[in-house]
Amino acid sequence: MAMHQSEADNSLLIYMGATVLYGGTILYRAKKYRMEKSLSFCWGLLLLFALEVLCFATLRSYLGFSLFSLVCLLFCVYTSDQAMLPVNSKAVLITGSDSGIGHELAKYLDRLGFVVFASVLNEKGPGAEKLRKTCSERLSVLQLDITNSVQIKEAYLEVRRKLQDADLWGIINNAGVLGFTADGELLPMHCYKQCMDVNFFGPVELSKTFLPLLRKSKGRLINISSMAGGIPMPRFAAYGASKAALSMFSGVMRQELSKWGIKVSVMHPSGFKTCIQGTPEFWNKEERILLENLTPDVKKDYGEDYILNLKKLLNDMFAVSGSDLSPVLCDVLHALLAEQPHGLYTPGKNAYKFLLIFCYSPLWFYDFCMSKMIYTSSIPSALRAAEAKNKDL
């Protein structure tokens, strides 16, 4: 009996040692190469742990340990480091570089040695001036409103002129607008149209214009969508619909452009602190426009207090958003230089978790989780009245 207990203790020690060795190696590589954002990696890690428990429970001998070690080895091979292409002054075009992700991305890629064409909405604005002062001579600032067909063509000619005989390696469609966040019924049509113009039609037209250059280089097309572009989120009807359209466009282009050697990736970042949320002045203006254009019955049913409380969502989301943009920057770099980039990246807190819940759980469970994430204590006036009436009965 004592001998069997000793063998069990030895087996446990061996498995614990293997767990520390393999687990430490895998987590180190995951941290270094950001594989923790991959759904397949997370599921693989869970299955690996389950297999270890199973092997120890049923095969405490060296046979079980050998089986576990073999699976760990295969897992390490499967998640091996992808070969990364050299920078070699590769040229990339980034839209929306005035501020936020686009601005930081332009500076980041410039530091790494890329030739950066940073397009801005205002070439004389503070964001453009900061890029000129802080970046190398390899970076060029381009005036580009992506909703303006003339400016897109001018930017194309300017990029071709500056590249001369060199190739354009990457296009990063980053420019976007959030618009006003409110119930879809309340949003004025200009919010829907603006979001579609900037977040979808602009990137589509720019991509179509510059694709001949990517076909020559067999380069990369990267579209910055949103977490709201992959899952339905309350108050984001206009923004989410435009980003979902961009995500679908990315998926179709990934399939169609593969025959030309062009790799297409789409990013679904979670919340980050950028200027896309707008200013208090912008929100006050949009709030006034919304109230002025509501029909009397809709305004009565929702109530002005409910509408005025919508701004609280923006403050709540900004408070929980991340200020460190490095997850997005690292994923964009991987999409640019990995020999086999992913079709989908989900940088940021909870982006892949909610996508997983939406894809694999019942809709009622997803809706429950989303109601907890985007919680509002405000209730439309008509619903409050109906609730009060039911209590009186």
- The residue to which tokens 């332009």 are assigned: 106
Q: Is 37 a residue whose pLDDT tops 50? A: no
Q: What is the structure's pLDDT at 3?
A: 47
Least confident of 48-57, 198-207, 234-243, 250-259: 48-57
Say whether both 98 and 221 belong to one domain: yes
Domain boundary among 22, 53, 78: 78
For the residues 180-203, what does the mean pLDDT come to?
Answer: 94
Say whether both 249 and 102 belong to one domain: yes
Q: Is residue 302 part of a domain?
A: no
Q: Is 154 a residue whose pLDDT tops 80? A: yes
For the residues 354-364, what does the mean pLDDT come to?
Answer: 89
Model confidence at 82, in pLDDT bands (50, 70, 90)? low
Q: What is the structure's pLDDT at 202?
A: 98
Range of the domain at 46: 2-78
CA distances from 221 to 112, 180, 216, 224 (A): 19, 28, 13, 10
Q: What is the structure's pLDDT at 256?
A: 98
Say whether both 208 and 67 belong to one domain: no
Mean pLDDT, the chain, whole residue set: 83
More confident residue, 72 or 357: 357
Distance CA 74, CA 50 (A): 16
For the residues 74-100, what does the mean pLDDT come to?
Answer: 81
Least confident of 73-77, 80-84, 101-105, 152-156: 73-77
Side chain identity at 384, as an amino acid letter?
Answer: R
Say whether both 135 and 209 belong to one domain: yes
Say whether both 140 and 64 belong to one domain: no
156 is catalytic: no
Q: What is the structure's pLDDT at 322?
A: 62
Distance CA 94, CA 106 (A): 7
Task: Spot the catalytic one: 108, 239, 306, 352.
Answer: 239
Say whether both 268 and 339 belong to one domain: yes
Give the rounded percent of residues in the chain with a pLDDT score beyond 90: 52
Q: What tens digit of pLDDT does each residue of 289-348 get? A: 888 889 999 999 998 888 888 877 666 666 666 678 888 999 999 999 999 999 999 998
Say whether both 137 and 42 belong to one domain: no
Q: Is residue 384 part of a domain?
A: no
For the residues 116-123, what does the mean pLDDT come to?
Answer: 96
Model confidence at 46, in pLDDT bands (50, 70, 90)? low
Q: What is the structure's pLDDT at 102?
A: 94
Side chain identity at 206, as an amino acid letter?
Answer: L
More confident residue, 277 or 32: 277
Say whether both 140 and 175 belong to one domain: yes
Please tell me the total count of domains within the chain: 2
For the residues 20-26, what does the mean pLDDT come to?
Answer: 60
Model confidence at 165, in pLDDT bands (50, 70, 90)? confident
Distance CA 329, CA 108 (A): 7
Q: Is residue 177 part of a domain?
A: yes
Contact 233, 240 (CB under 8 A): yes
Say whether both 73 and 123 belong to one domain: no
Q: Is 31 a residue whose pLDDT tops 90? A: no
Say whether both 61 and 189 belong to one domain: no
Q: What is the structure's pLDDT at 36?
A: 41
Domain boundary among 46, 78, 110: 78
Q: Is residue 374 part of a domain?
A: no
Q: Is residue 369 part of a domain?
A: no
For the residues 104-108, what does the mean pLDDT come to?
Answer: 96
- From first CA to last CA, the distance across the chain in angstroms is 72
Say whether both 152 and 189 belong to one domain: yes
Contact 221, 263 (CB under 8 A): yes
Contact 14, 65 (CB under 8 A): yes
Tell me, what CATH number does 217's domain have?
Answer: 3.40.50.720
Model confidence at 355, in pLDDT bands (50, 70, 90)? confident
Say whether both 105 and 40 belong to one domain: no
Q: What is the structure's pLDDT at 277?
A: 66
Q: Is residue 379 part of a domain?
A: no
Q: Is residue 206 part of a domain?
A: yes
Q: Is residue 391 part of a domain?
A: no
For the residues 34-42, what does the mean pLDDT come to?
Answer: 48
CA distances from 58 to 10, 51, 165 (A): 15, 10, 65
Q: What is the structure's pLDDT at 290?
A: 87
